[in-house]
Chains A and B, each alone.
Chain A
Amino acid sequence: MSKTLFEKIWDAHVVAPETADTPATLYIDLHLVHEVTSPQAFDELRARGIKLRRPERTLATLDHSTPTLPPDATGERPYGTPAAKAQVAQLEKNTSAFGVTLHGWNSANRGIVHVIGPELGATQPGMTIVCGDSHTSTHGAFGALAFGIGTTEVGHVLATQCLLQRKPKTLAIVVDGKLPDGVAAKDLILHIIGVIGINGGTGHVIEYRGAAIEALTMEERMTVCNMSIEAGARAGLIAPDATTFAWLKGRPRAPQGADWDAAVAHWKQLHTDPGAHYDREVHIDAADVVPTVTWGTHPGTAIAMNAPVPAPRNAVDQRAQTYMHSVPGKPMQGTPVNVVFVGSCTNARLSDLRVAARILRGRHIATGIRMLVVPGSEQVRHDAEAEGLHQVFLAAGAEWRLPGCSMCIAMNGDSAKPGELVVSTSNRNFEGRQGKGVRTVLASPATAAASAVAGVIADPREYLKEAAA
């Protein structure tokens, strides 16, 4: 029988099938853990006196509560609050007590959980991957079924390596054609969410397909899958192909030697069979996508930056426009900016920093603008510094920080001030996400860098053209 990619992965992980009365018991291959959503789960295990079922399938890091400024002369790190420091200490304690590998402060691989999984080659096609974090969907870029879970379920996976799950529905998003020059994967996913809506994927696993998806690099695919949850989807998937295999080859946790060949042979089967059925299908033309930003307080308010902000349809839109100071009939392009943030699991990989640096090289950010560049991992930081990208950012007047979630979630002390407008490469523009009263506009790294130079929301294509010339 023809199966979708999702069904192939699902079926291969069913320990006990679902019935009318009970969900399926689904086996989890890889469990990623960070400091914010795990302490109560470890406590539960401790209270019951149970161990981890498969500690070697569990990988932990520090990213959300961690400061991005270096330690002082005494080695003390500038935590935002004592609670943040205690939370990090708690994960250090839990991982050592339960025998889990932690990429902590002294690891050259510490970083945002969704950046380091792929980087280490821990994320592989065909796997089931979970984490107490909704952007686990990122790992779907490798053809893995990857989704976010709550803390109770984190405890379930720690203890049993399994979850109780109902089978979700499937949604194919077929992106035909070719993305225009200067238009990024971030623009594409914002455009898609603008089309299907913030709840357009609820109850579904999305499979992104089509020529424009196949043409994306691995890092671009991660950007797309990362934001699947912003359309409400459980997960996002892209079938693995030669691009995927080339990216994974030789990574520390990837299979080596003869195992590698066997793995690739297996991974090549992981695609949707001709004639397989999706519950829904949406078609997008890549040629329609232009630099895209948001005007409101959720990612579904994505529009072309030069298109007029729509008239409010109801009190909810009204509230969002009041909060954002976005004006119906006027485009977002040209809106004055206070802060620019390049970072997060959506856009803090090496290619993202390269494109931002390409625009900033030989330029300076506008007067009065604050710009933070926060690499997604120690590895990204290392690679960027080896290329001298940090020099470009510093010379342009931006801050170059240590890896972490930083201003994406603003729980480590990195935040903007009430009323400030932030052009951000992260994934959520909810009210208060980057600090109380802060107005967030989501954008690609190129748009963020161009806006920092212009001091207003700006089209990066002009800057990219000049940089190339």
Chain B
Amino acid sequence: MNPVTRITSRTAVLVDENIDTDRIIPARFLTTTTREGLGQRCFNDWRYLADGSDNPEFPLNRPEAKGCAILVAGRNFGCGSSREHAPWALLDYGIKAVLCSEIADIFRNNALKNGLVAIVLTADENRWLLAHPGIELTVDVAGQFIALPDGTRMHFTLEPFARHCLLEGVDQLGYLLQRSDAITRYEHQEHAA
């Protein structure tokens, strides 16, 4: 994973609540055996009309949402399945951070493992951001704050290890492999018991 320290972008907003992983990437696109290219299918059934053209009703299709790397969503984003294809699709689509008042556990975990900064805000902060689409924010992972255009800050907390991994680009599998001796000890003791 490449280090992620700071993201500056205008926000794109999806006010819907409970945006589930099937909406982020419908299951019929999960037959892939790679991680690449899923951005084209991100929000597929919401984003495109039946004839394959862009759905003008889909908020991220509006001209002002183009190129936005920060997504603000209504509560309980990412509920549903454990498919890591959801953060892969969002990243490939150009989203680098998701801001929401509640984020489903597995999605959040998958997102952070891929360098998609999933941030939980208070309900009030989230409501405010939902009501102000398109403003420019800076997400500072080291400082754990979001800087607003007027200079005020919203503070957030990331799980310390996830934050460390984002900042340093830590290879988590490498980290686990280094614990091999402890794992072997555990396995012996388990057999002895």
Give the interface of A toward B (CB within 8 A): 15-16, 20-23, 25, 27, 36-37, 39-40, 43-44, 48, 50, 53, 64-65, 80-81, 83-84, 86-87, 90, 132-134, 148-153, 155-156, 159-162, 164, 166, 168, 198-199, 202-203, 232, 234, 297-298, 300, 315-316, 319, 409-411, 428, 430-433, 436-437
**Stretch of B61-69, B91-99, B142-150, B175-183 contacting A (4+ beta carbons < 8 Å):** B175-183
How many A-B residue pairs have C-beta atoms within 8 angstroms? Tell me.
Answer: 166
A–B Cβ pairs within 8 angstroms, 6 of them? A23-B159, A159-B173, A160-B180, A198-B76, A316-B17, A316-B74
B112 to chain A, nearest CB (A): 10
Interchain CB contact (< 8 A) of B182 among A16, A20, A234, A430: A16
Among residues of A, the one whose C-beta sits closest to the C-beta of B165 is: A164
Among residues of B, the one whose C-beta sits closest to the C-beta of A88 is: B31
Report chain B residues within 8 Å CB of A53. Answer: 183
Query: How many angstroms between the C-alpha atoms of A380 and B135 in the bound complex?
Result: 55
A308 to chain B, nearest CB (A): 22
B164 to chain A, nearest CB (A): 7
Residue-wise interface mask of B (14-56) relative to A, using a CB-CB cutoff of 8 A (1 in contact, 0 not): 0111101011001110111111000000000100000000000
Query: How many angstroms between the C-alpha atoms of A65 and B175 in the bound complex?
Result: 33
Q: Are A298 and B18 interface neighbours, CB within 8 A?
A: yes
Query: How many angstroms between the C-alpha atoms of A84 and B180 in the bound complex?
Result: 36
Residues of B within 8 Å of A, CB-based: how many? 50
Report chain A residues within 8 Å CB of B34. Answer: 39-40, 43
B161 within 8 A of A: yes
**Stretch of B2-10, B81-89, B121-129 contacting A (4+ beta carbons < 8 Å):** B81-89
Give the interface of B toward A (CB within 8 A): 15-18, 20, 22-23, 26-28, 30-35, 45, 74-76, 79-84, 102, 104-106, 109-110, 113-114, 159-161, 164, 172-173, 175-177, 179-180, 182-183, 186-187, 190
Q: Are B183 and A411 interface neighbours, CB within 8 A?
A: no
Query: How many angstroms between the C-alpha atoms of A164 and B170 in the bound complex?
Result: 13
Query: How many angstroms between the C-alpha atoms of A146 and B67 in the bound complex?
Result: 39
Q: Are B172 and A164 interface neighbours, CB within 8 A?
A: yes
Q: Are A428 and B186 interface neighbours, CB within 8 A?
A: no
B78 to chain A, nearest CB (A): 10
Report chain B residues within 8 Å CB of A166. Answer: 159
Q: Are B22 and A431 interface neighbours, CB within 8 A?
A: yes
Among residues of A, the one whose C-beta sits closest to the C-beta of B178 is: A160
Among residues of B, the one whose C-beta sits closest to the C-beta of A14 is: B186
Query: How many angstroms between the C-alpha atoms of A84 and B113 in the bound complex?
Result: 26
Query: How many angstroms between the C-alpha atoms of A232 and B30 in the bound complex?
Result: 22
Given A152-B113, A319-B16: A16 touches B179 (CB 8 Å cut-off)? yes
Q: Are A160 and B35 interface neighbours, CB within 8 A?
A: no
Q: Are B105 and A25 interface neighbours, CB within 8 A?
A: no
Query: How many angstroms between the C-alpha atoms of A168 and B105 in the bound complex?
Result: 10
